[in-house]
Amino acid sequence: MSTNIKNKQVRKGQLMQWVVIISFIVLTALSSHSFARFSLDRDAVKEIVVEEAKLQGVDPALVLAVAQVESDFDPNVVSHKGARGVMQIMPKTARDEFGINPALLFDARTNIRTGVTFLKQLQNRYGKVEFALSHYNGGSRVTKPDGSYQVIPVTRGYVDKVLSKMKTFQQYETPSWLAYTPSYRDMKEKAKDNLGIQSKLYRLRQKNMHLAKVVNTRVDSYLDGYRSGSTKGRGYTSDQRERRQQVLQWESIYER
């Protein structure tokens, strides 16, 4: 009897654990879903698109055009085929090609970053934007049996629409956030270069200060003798005086 009661208590405890876990998963999904829907307007999504495109070296106008055609910058949209988010990434593609949990595709930044990475890979593979866009929309049939490339006929309308939008973003829509600004990597490299220059200047200054001290030690006794009129026989020449003055000048410059 007592054993049955214990078993029931164990099963009840396990059931409660599963209820808590499932509730947590559902609430997390709903909160992510709600965040994507309500916290990001289209301008905020555009800013993420531009930022991610620049970080990966892809033309922001191209990614903006794809995002507009695919979802009109809606991080929550789902197509009739199941593609998700701003860049309309298929769950299978996210999982198999990029190792991303499909549930994360409703996070705007994750979705956009994945889409930009995919576009970059396709551009590198085909070397032409038209072919990359055709694959993005219609799959690998871009490659013909003979190994050459083509725009898949059923994707021609999509490709032309994206290219048209791309020109619009390039020529007519130039908000401040679309203009080029140095990326974090650019600024980091510049700061690193500046630090290297400053380091070299510091070492040069230290060397010159050391030289000044050496010359100061060796020349001061002669200089004192010169001032007292007793430099004869000490080997202190006008050339040494000139070098002494030059060193003093260097020292004054580096001490500023």
Instruction: Kindly write down the DSSP assignment for every residue of 153-204, as one continuous string.
Output: GGGHHHHHHHHHHHHHHHHT---TTTS----HHHHHHHHHHHHHHHHHHHHH
| Residue-level pLDDT at 143 | 94
Provide φ and ψ at 78, rounded to 5°: -130, 130
How far is the C-alpha of 227 from the C-alpha of 204, rounded, in Å? 32
Question: Model confidence over 5-58: pLDDT tens digits?
Answer: 656 665 666 666 766 677 656 555 554 444 444 457 889 999 999 999 999 999
How far is the C-alpha of 75 from the C-alpha of 85, rounded, in Å? 4
Q: Does one domain contain both 29 and 121? A: yes
Q: Does one domain contain both 132 and 189? A: no
| Residue-level pLDDT at 36 | 44
Provide φ and ψ at 74, rounded to 5°: -95, 115
Q: Which of the listed ranges 143-147, 154-158, 195-199 does the model predict with the highest average pLDDT?
A: 154-158
Q: Does one domain contain both 121 and 157? A: yes
Q: Is 67 left (phi over 0), alpha (psi -120 to 50) or beta?
A: alpha
Residue 126 within any structural domain of the chain: yes
Residue 133 within any structural domain of the chain: yes
Residue 169 within any structural domain of the chain: yes
pLDDT exceeding 90 applies to what percent of the chain? 49
Which of 206-210, 225-229, 238-242, 248-252 shows the lowest mean pLDDT across its residues? 225-229
Q: Does one domain contain both 202 and 109? A: no
Q: Does one domain contain both 34 and 58? A: yes
Q: Does one domain contain both 38 and 119? A: yes
> What average pLDDT does range 137-157 have in this prediction?
94
Residue with tokens 């949209």: 77
Containing structural domain, residue 22: 16-173
Residue 64's contacts (CB-CB under 8 Å, 6 or more residues apart) are 46, 49, 50, 53, 165, 166, 169, 178
CB 159 within 8 A of CB 192: no
Question: Model confidence over 95-129: pLDDT tens digits?
Answer: 999 999 999 999 999 999 999 999 999 999 999 99
Which residue, 175, 186, 187, is CA-closest to 60? 175
| Residue-level pLDDT at 166 | 96
Between residues 207 and 93, the one the model is more confident about: 93
150 has pLDDT over 60: yes
State the pLDDT confidence band at 197, using cuts at 50, 70 and 90. Answer: low
Q: Does one domain contain both 117 and 54? A: yes
State the pLDDT confidence band at 187, using cuts at 50, 70 and 90. Answer: low
Q: Does one domain contain both 129 and 201? A: no
Q: Does one domain contain both 111 and 149? A: yes
Last residue within a domain, chosen from 127, 150, 173: 173
Q: Does one domain contain both 83 and 200? A: no
The number of distinct structural domains making up the chain is 2
Q: Does one domain contain both 126 and 188? A: no
The three-class DSSP label of residue 89 is strand
Q: Does one domain contain both 128 and 193? A: no
